[in-house]
Amino acid sequence: MLLLVDLDGTVWRGDAPVPGVAELLVEREAQGDVITYVTNNSTRHRADYLARLAAVGAPASLERIVTSARATALHIAGLRPRVERVLAVGSPGLVRELREVGLSVMSAGEAAEAAASGVPAAVAAGNPQAVVVGLDRHVDYGRLAIASTCVRSGALFVATNRDSVFPTEHGLAPGAGAIVAAIEVASGVAPIAIGKPGPLLLRVAADSVGVPLEGAVVIGDSIHTDIPAARAAGIASILLLTGVTRPEHLDGLAPGEQPTIVARDAEELRAALEGLTA
Ligand SMILES: [Mg+2]
């Protein structure tokens, strides 16, 4: 069985591992499951997560970590006609993922600097065929302007994810979706969004390990991203109550929006997986 496993709130919460989950994943892998990690985070390269997964004892390899940045890179690399030049609004981790699939990438920061010195926007941005937007903690007016101009001029608009906020130790901070929305409004063009709650991240993750998505199971802690992504992909979902969702949140969901199974902890997750395999 292919297990598509979320990270934050599922494998770890903040700096602490979620008790028993890494050990359970080791067991499931030994029994023949393929474990692949899927996260909407667009800021880090997979290598950062590989180190962290190894530190908590979870089974992992670079090709089985599919962030929204990696999935966006793979999605764009698979497009026909080919996309070769990309303008990126995002972190160095996103730029690295895009370059590693062979794309020629200009960062919006560099492009905005060139445009500010009088170079026409399209030229400053390297005549991109696509504009990729993820979380950029240094986003400013110049970056929004050049990205919007390129999208309005016909470049494909691809969002790593549309998360409106993400949790930090100081509370909620604006997510990639807040930046995507600004460019959407300014350009008048709606993006293709790769991350959950759509199905694309899951599809790309299954493709990247060469396992059919049919019959896979999503394991995650969010009723706003993980569970609707599974539904959109037509596969089962297990909601873990170890992260952002509390039991009472489920009361507000329509029957069609409920997870296939709810698990309070790793023990209940083990039983849920055994039930699905039986
Ligand atoms: Mg999560």
pLDDT of residue 167: 84
Q: Is residue 51 assigned to a domain? A: no
Q: How far apart are CA 263 and CA 266, in angstroms?
A: 8
Please say if 6 is a catalytic residue: yes
Widest Cα–Cα separation across the chain: 65
Please count the structural domains in the chain.
2
**Whether residue 141 is found in the same domain as residue 180:** yes
pLDDT of residue 278: 79
Give the pTM: 0.96
**Whether residue 158 is found in the same domain as residue 218:** no
Q: Is residue 91 assigned to a domain? A: yes
Spacing, Cα 263 to ligand 1 middle (Å)? 14
Angle (CA) 207 211 217, round 5°:
100
Please say if 8 is a catalytic residue: yes
Q: Which domain holds residue 108?
A: 80-193
Count of H-run helices and E-run strands, the chain: 11, 15
Last residue of a domain, one of 140, 158, 193: 193
Q: Which parts of 90-204 are beta strand (E)?
A: 104-107, 130-133, 156-159, 165-168, 171-174, 192-193
Q: How far apart are CA 106 and CA 51, in angstroms?
A: 28
Options 8, 33, 136, 163, the catalytic residue: 8
Spacing, Cα 140 to ligand 1 middle (Å)? 28
Last residue of a domain, one of 145, 176, 193: 193
pLDDT of residue 71: 98
Residue 91, domain CATH: 3.40.50.1000
Q: What is the pLDDT along the chain (278 residues), one digit of tens a residue?
A: 999 999 999 999 988 999 999 999 999 999 999 999 999 999 999 999 999 999 999 999 999 999 999 999 999 999 999 999 999 999 999 999 999 999 999 999 999 999 999 999 999 999 999 999 999 999 999 999 999 999 999 999 999 999 999 988 899 999 999 999 999 999 999 999 999 999 999 999 999 999 999 999 999 999 999 999 999 999 999 999 999 999 999 999 999 999 999 999 999 999 999 999 87
Spacing, Cα 156 to ligand 1 middle (Å)? 28
**Whether residue 170 is found in the same domain as residue 228:** no
Spacing, Cα 167 to ligand 1 middle (Å)? 10
**Whether residue 185 is found in the same domain as residue 203:** no
**Whether residue 221 is found in the same domain as residue 131:** no
